[in-house]
Structure 1
Amino acid sequence: MKQALLVVMLSLVVLSTPAQSEELWPVPDWSQAADSNSPAWRQVQAYAFTARDEQSREGARSDALLVIKQGRIVYEHYAAPTTAQTSHLTWSISKSVLATLLGVARNEGRFELSDPVARFYPAMQAHPRIRLQDLLHWASGLDWQEDYEYAPLNSSVVPMLYTRGRGDMAAYTVARPAAVEPGQRFLYSSGDSNVLAAALRTMVGPERYQQYPWDALFSPLGITSAVWERDASGTLVGSSYLYMSARDLARIGLLMLRDGRWQSQQLLPKDWVAFNRTLFTKAVAQPGEANPGGHWWLNQPLPDGQRPWPDVPADTFAALGHWGQALYVMPDEQMVVVRFADDRDEQLRHNELLKRVLAAQSGAQP
């Protein structure tokens, strides 16, 4: 009798206690943790939101910082005029979102990584050995200089985005001469990303292409803030010109955190996410700089270097953009972090920011 009563009592406890492994999804919006923005986050805020007139202070000038832990908002702060509803320019985070969109197309059986790009973008017949996986590794072998506004005369990307290449950015890229064999050298190139965006048009068909990012990815995730510019030829500017709110970008992070699954639907193949997170070793390590995966950035060491962000879990990966835009995914911590900025002085250090975020979440001192 006592044993039967004990079983009933234990059953009641189990029924009244939320499952520890319960998954939370932002449907329709993110839930907020009860202790979000607690005093433990002061060190994070002091570092991430340096006052605009305090250039000499250690820290960074953020527009937004959002931290999601196990599907809940644990920290969120904005600097005016940015708000939770602002569609912020993500710059090169666009590249990783493009790779995520390509993952949906891959799930639909529209291409293989080993396919030659020329199958989907005929102008690439001038470089018939370049494969889709080479573009995704930024290893097309095409001559390219990814210099920005501080070195415009040497730049390939500045004329692509703003002058003679802006009418058809993929065609501008393909017209570049070959520098090395495809797949043999990492050379970061916004042009490679825009050729991928052009190839996607053939993969999905021109009639679907205009709405494809929304139909295939944004709408299933509940993303409503996305704006993605096109060049004059109608090709998505996959390298640079996606705008999105911090909360909506975090949905991309959660999709990647959960291996391409959104609730009960497997939007991306698991092996696609694994490819995004697999190190492309034909690069040279730069201290503090993340290393390339499949159009995402990894906290894994190249053979000639240390882990880029030593105080952050090794499985951390990220989408990164000009002037300090960042989407960090930390599977070990079940955490997604979004940072928007106009950080032209480049004061932010990824390792320092994430170290403080982890300390705030655990209650430790950074």
Structure 2
Amino acid sequence: MRPITIKKSFNGLSILALALAALAGAAQAADSQGACGVPGLEPCPQPFDKVLPAAKDMLTWDQDTRVVGFRNTYRLYGGDVFAPRGAMPYPLPQASHKLSDVQYQLAGKPHNLADYLANQSVTGLLVLKDGKIAYEHYGKGNTPQTLWTSRSVAKSVVSVLVGIAVKEGKIHSLDDRISRYVPELEGSEWQHVTLQQLLQHTSGVVWDENYASKDSDFSHMTQCEATADPYHCVLDLVRSVKRKPGVKPGEVWSYNTGGAWLVGRVLENATGMTIAEYLQSRVWSRYGMQQAGVWHALVPGKVDMGGHGFNATLRDWGRFGQFVLSGGQLPQGEKLLPDDWIARSTHWTQAKGSVTAAAPKGQYGYQWWYNAPAPDSDAEPKRTDTSDQTFWALGIFGQSIAINPAERLVVVQWSTWKNAESPGSLYDEQAVFVNAVGKALSK
């Protein structure tokens, strides 16, 4: 609230009137945000923590702080609500074959489900088999009404929305240069990059994604998001990046949240809607999600954050996974995605840097990941008959959606790892665990 300047000539009643007016203005401003801290969000997610951490410190929160921060991220920034708008929730009945325990090996040692929850600092875990709940767990005070932030799992959500926009003809072709949709990129190193290259993170621009460095581009983006004018700060940062000399678009794979933000800008300009509006109108209100979610907005109602920022309940994360598992089909049968979209999205790029010992066919598609244990890891089950068909939405600190169409399996995980993406054995454990879950539920 702005300080009130009171002239000495005012009498006591004038002073009281000004003070009351100021309090009324503050109350009106609070009301405009709604009871839940975001305009249009209801009912309020639970728990509704009273004390929130500073957004600018997101990368350095300790694990206990991260629990509170991640389930209240929707309140730390501007936000756009996406709601089911009265749609009948897509049913997630309880499975008759429950997942009671899982056995797997890591570093040559036996582990079970309790070990996994502890090792991964799990705050939410949902296993869907044939669209039925085989296992559901909430930790650290989270509930079925908690909105948990996705981090980069949102990139995969945006990728799906791009597929819908392609089928609707709002995006002409993935071969289009992105400057066709985002003219502000003319004259920058992005101007000749195609949408496909942007989705595959093969733009060739130099972007430092180091989460442990205060001076990385990603860290600077995080600081931008906590400013009074996050849009122009992020735009200036992303537009300022350079290209490594001699590297053309499509030649080198390099993970790039700045580029992922531009995927969101392409989608928004092509559809004339924010990411949240498009998600709500195409999926959230038609597939039948249960609760409203919030998308992190740089300019509420105009510009959302395409690189991260999806906040939703555990079961609605699972429903989104089921939607993708179906190839983008609504319960009534209408197909929202092109027939080959999932296959194209999970055709891993062979650009330099994408192919590794653990991912000999490449590790990245249209903002979906291939995730498998390192070949020299002492882990089991390292592979199953269908594990190569599993594709992943991954976010730092352990967020994930794993989808295996062959097993009709969706596994959703919320976590608060101590570090953003290390040690790498945590990713190995995720992959081995999903393999073990698939084997356990196929018996």
With the shorter chain as reference, the TM-score category is 0.7 to 0.9
Q: How many Å separate the matches in 1 of 2:335 and 2:442?
A: 31
Answer yes or no: is 1:143 the counterpart of 2:206. Answer: yes
* Alpha-carbon distance between aligned partners in 2 of 1:203 and 1:311, rounded to the nearest angstrom: 40
SS class of match (1:270): coil
What is the aligned partner in structure 1 of residue 330 from structure 2? 262
Q: What corresponds to 1:274 in structure 2?
A: 343
Question: What is the aligned partner in structure 2 of residue 297 from structure 1?
Answer: 369
Q: How far apart, CA to CA, are the structure 2 residues paired with 1:225 and 1:83?
A: 15
Tell me by how many angstroms 1:171 deviates: 4.3
- Aligned match for 1:211, one of 277, 286, 297: 277
Output the amino acid matched with 2:257: S
Cα deviation 1:97-137 (Å, max 9, x = unaligned): 01111111111111110011011000121233111001100
Two-structure CA RMSD over aligned residues (Å): 2.7
The more displaced of 79-88 and 218-227 is 218-227
Percent of aligned pairs with the same amino acid: 27
Within a 5 Å distance, the mapping from 1:1-366 to structure 2 comes to 27-38=89-100, 44-50=112-118, 59-111=119-171, 112-126=173-187, 127-148=190-211, 150-153=212-215, 155-163=216-224, 166-168=230-232, 169-179=234-244, 180-205=247-272, 211-223=277-289, 224-232=291-299, 234-263=302-331, 264-284=333-353, 285-286=355-356, 291-299=363-371, 310-312=382-384, 313-345=387-419, 346=422, 348=426, 349-362=429-442
Checking the alignment, whether the CA contact within 8 Å between 1:40 and 1:360 is kept in structure 2 is: yes
| Structure 1 range deviating more: 326-335 or 161-170 | 161-170
The separation in 2 between residues aligned to 1:225 and 1:205, in whole angstroms, is 21
Amino acid at match of 1:270: D
Q: Is the 8 A contact 1:40 1:361 kept in 2?
A: no
After TM superposition, give the deviation of residue 311 of structure 1 in Å.
1.9
Which residue of structure 1 aligns with residue 30 of structure 2? none
- The amino acid that maps onto 1:335 is L
Paired letter, 1:190: T
Give the TM-score taking structure 2 as reference length.
0.67
Change (3 A) 1:133 1:175: same
User: What displacement does 1:33 show?
Assistant: 0.9
Write the deviation string for residues 64-87 of structure 1: whole angstroms up to 9, x where unpaired: 111111111111111131122211
**CA offset digits 1:211-261 (Å, max 9, x no partner):** 222112222222233210111484211112111112111122112212222
Structure 1: runs of 5 or more not aligned: 1-25, 51-58
Relative to 1, partners in 2 of residues 1:47 and 1:358: Cα closer, same or farther, differing over 3 Å?
A: farther
Q: Distance in 2 between matches of 1:236 and 1:251?
A: 22
Question: Matched residue of 1:203: which SS?
Answer: helix
Q: Is the 8 A contact 1:107 1:267 kept in 2?
A: yes
Amino acid at match of 1:178: R
- Structure 1-normalised TM-score? 0.81
Letter in 1 for 2:283: L
Equivalent position amino acid for 1:105 in 2: A
Letter matched to residue 272 of structure 2: G
Worse-superposed segment, 354-363 or 319-328: 354-363
CA distance in 1, matches of 2:103, 2:214: 39
Cα distance in 2, alignment partners of residues 246 and 78 from structure 1: 9
Corresponding pairs, count: 324
Q: Deviations over 1:318-346 (max 9, x none)?
A: 10001000100011211000000111244
Question: 1 CA distance for matches of 2:298 and 2:418?
Answer: 25
User: Which amino acid is the alignment partner of residue 202 of structure 1?
Assistant: N
Q: 1:38, CA displacement in angstroms? A: 3.1
Q: Give the match's secondary structure for 2:400.
A: strand
Which AA in structure 2 matches 1:278? H
The code of the aligned residue for 1:339 comes to Q
Residues in 1 aligned to 2:128 and 2:303: alpha-carbon distance in whole angstroms:
33
